[in-house]
Structure 1
Amino acid sequence: MALKYVKTALLLCSLLVATQSAAALWTINYPKPLDDSDARAEYPIALLKLALDKTGVNYELLPSDRILLSSKALRQLRENREVNVVWSMTDSQREKDLLPIRIPIAKGLIGLRVFVINVDREAEFARVSSKNELMNFTPLQGEEWPDTKILQANGFNVATVPNFKDAYSLLLQNKGDFFPRSVIEVSAELEGRSASLKLEPDMALYYPTAMYYFVNKSNPTLARLIETGLNRAIEDGSFEALFKSSNEAILEELDIKNRRIYTLDNPLLPPETPLADERLWYVIEQ
C-alpha cells in the first residue's frame, strides 16, 4: 500500500513539473536595432516570433536595453550578457564561439550583394565587363565582418570600417569605391541617405553563406526550441510565406534576374552548412 502511495505521489509531482514547465515564461532578448524605423530587423524578428509561436511556449520577445550593432551583439552573446539570441552571418569562428541554429533564415540572400556607389563613379562602373575588372575597385566592409575575409580571399583589396554607417560616409568622400550590401539590407539602408549615393544597376556578387540565429553555448535548450519552431514553420509553409512576403518585392525592385552575378568562393563556410537541403535556399533564376 505504501508503494502505491509513493507511485501516486511521484506521478503527481511529474504532472506538476510538466504543467509548470509549459506555463513558464521564456524571456528572449535580441539586439536593439538602431531605431524603430530600422527595417532590416523586421524580418528576423518576425521569423523568430513565428518560430516561437509554432512551439506553443509562453514567451516574451524583447530588445536589449541599448542599441547593439552586430559585432558588439555577438560579443555580448558570447559573454552571456544583455542578449540571448542574435542573428548574424556565419563563419567557422562564430560557430566555435557560439551555438548556431543551422537553418539559413534568409535562405542565403545574405550572400547576394549589390553595390552602393557614389554617383560620381557611375560611368567607371558602367565600363566594368568582368570580375577581374571589378577587382580593380576597392570595396568597403566592416572590420570584423566575415565578408571582409571572403572578399580578400578572392583577391579584392578591401578598405575596412568600424561599422556600416562609416562606409556610407567614406563613399561620399570617395575614400572607397563601392559598398557591397546584401539585397535584404540595402533598400532599407539607402532610404533617406544622400542623393549622392545610388545603387549600381547592373552587377552583383554572390558567395555561399548563411545568416543564422545564434545562442550562447550554455543554452542548448533555447537553440532546440527555436530550431523546432523553424522546422515546423518550414513544414507547414509559413516560413516560405513570410520569406516571400518580406523579400520578393525587394528582389524585383533590384532587378536581380537581369544583373550580371559574379560568384566568389567562401573559404570561411563551415562544413556543417546544410547546402544539400534545397528547401533552405533561394534559387536565383536568370
Structure 2
Amino acid sequence: MFSLLKLALSKTDTSFCYQQMELVVTEARKSALIGSNQLSVQWASAGSSADTYADPIKQPIFLGLTGFRLLVIRNGEQHRFDQITNAKGLKAMKVGQGLFWGDTQILERAGFQVVTSTQARRLWKMLASKRFDYIALGAHEPWKDIALRPELNLAVERNLLLVYPSVLYFYVSPEHHQLGQLIADGMRMALADGSYQQLLYQSEMIQSLLTHANITERRQIRIDDAQLFDLLPPGYDMRLPEFLKQPATTASDNSH
C-alpha cells in the first residue's frame, strides 16, 4: 500500500518526506490524528467511518480488487460450503467483520448475519472459537493473515468468490487538499503509463493470490448495494480486474 502511494507521488514534481505509522490504532484514534494533523494520509474502504472525518481520493487503490472476497474458514469445514450456490446459503451462516469496515454495512443491508468486533485483529480467534463461521477478506489478503496465525488452524474456502461493490481509497485530512490533489494526479499518471498496474501485479500479495486462489474458476455470489454507488468512482463495475486473469510470474520472470 505504502509503495503504491510513494509511486503516485513520485510522478509529481514535488518532493516529500515520508513517515509510515506502524501502530495499530482504532478508527476513533485515526480520526483524532487526522484532526490534529499528526496523520496526513490513511487508506480505508469507501463507506467506512473515514468518510466522516477525511476526504477520499476517488482512485481505487487496488483497481476494484477489494470487491472480490474470499472466505477464511476453520480448517476441516470445507464440506459445509461445498453445496452453497447463492447468497442464501451464506446468509444461513454467520460472518465475522470489523465494526468499522466499510463492507460491514453492505453485508448487513443484504441480510447477512454479521458478528462484529471493534478490534479487527480479534476476529481470528473469534473464528477459531466458533463465534461465527467465516471471515470475508479481499482476495489479496487471506494467505498472509493465515500464515501469521498457524496455531488457529484456519484455511481459505476453495470454491466461492463473494462479489460486491467495494473500493479502497486513500483519504487525506481536509486541511491537506493540495496533497490530496497531488496524490490523485500521481495515481492517474501511474495508471496511464502502466507503472501502477505493474507494481501491483508484481507485489507479493497479488502473486500469492494468482498462485493459490484459482479466482477465475470460482463460483461468484454477487451482491448489489445501491447505497454505496454514490461513493464509487465513475465507470466502476464489478468485473474482475484484468491483471487477475494473468498467470503468476516465476523466478525467471522477475529476473529481467
Q: TM-score range by the shorter chain?
A: 0.7 to 0.9
Amino acid at match of 1:261: Q
Deviations 1:58-101 (A, max 9, x none): 2111023x613462464235423431100111117643532111
2: CA distance, partners of 1:214 / 1:136: 35
1: CA distance, partners of 2:68 / 2:178: 32
Please state if 1:259 is matched with 2:218: yes
> Residue 141 of structure 1 contacts residue 161 of structure 1 at CA under 8 Å; is this kept in 2?
yes
Corresponding residue for residue 250 of structure 2: none
Corresponding residue for residue 242 of structure 1: 199
The 3-state SS of whatever aligns with 1:63 is: coil
Deviation of 1:51 (Å): 1.0
Deviation of 1:165 (Å): 1.8
Corresponding residue for residue 51 of structure 1: 8
Deviation of 1:220 (Å): 0.5
Amino acid at match of 2:176: N
Corresponding residue for residue 140 of structure 2: 184
Unaligned runs of 5+ in 2: 246-256
Please state if 1:100 is matched with 2:56: yes
> Residue 77 of structure 1 contacts residue 216 of structure 1 at CA under 8 Å; is this kept in 2?
no
> Residue 44 of structure 2 contacts residue 102 of structure 2 at CA under 8 Å; is this kept in 1?
no
What aligned pairs does 1:1-286 form with structure 2 within 5 A after superposition?
44-64=1-21, 67-69=23-25, 71-72=27-28, 74-91=30-47, 94-193=50-149, 194=151, 196-246=153-203, 248-252=206-210, 253-271=212-230, 273-276=232-235, 282-283=241-242
Unaligned runs of 5+ in 1: 1-43
> Residue 89 of structure 1 contacts residue 211 of structure 1 at CA under 8 Å; is this kept in 2?
yes
**Inter-CA distance 103–111: structure 2 relative to 1 (3 Å threshold):** same
The 3-state SS of whatever aligns with 1:146 is: coil
1: CA distance, partners of 2:176 / 2:137: 31
Report 1 or 2 for greater relative contact order, CA contacts < 8 Å, sequence distance ≥ 6. 2
2: CA distance, partners of 1:255 / 1:73: 38
Deviations 1:83-132 (A, max 9, x none): 11001111176435321111001011112110111124222122323221
2: CA distance, partners of 1:248 / 1:87: 18
2: CA distance, partners of 1:272 / 1:168: 29
The 3-state SS of whatever aligns with 1:59 is: coil
Greater CA drift, 260-269 or 199-208: 260-269
Provide the alpha-carbon RMSD of the alignment: 2.3
Percent of residue pairs bearing the same amino acid type: 26
The 3-state SS of whatever aligns with 2:112 is: coil
Moved segments of 4+, more than 4 Å = none
Report the TM-score when normalising by structure 2: 0.85
Deviations 1:184-241 (A, max 9, x none): 2222211131362111100121111211110011211110111111111112111111
Please say which structure displays the higher CA radius of gyration: 1
> Residue 118 of structure 1 contacts residue 196 of structure 1 at CA under 8 Å; is this kept in 2?
yes
> Residue 45 of structure 2 contacts residue 168 of structure 2 at CA under 8 Å; is this kept in 1?
yes
Amino acid at match of 2:124: Y
Amino acid at match of 1:264: I
> Residue 91 of structure 1 contacts residue 268 of structure 1 at CA under 8 Å; is this kept in 2?
no
Report the TM-score when normalising by structure 1: 0.77
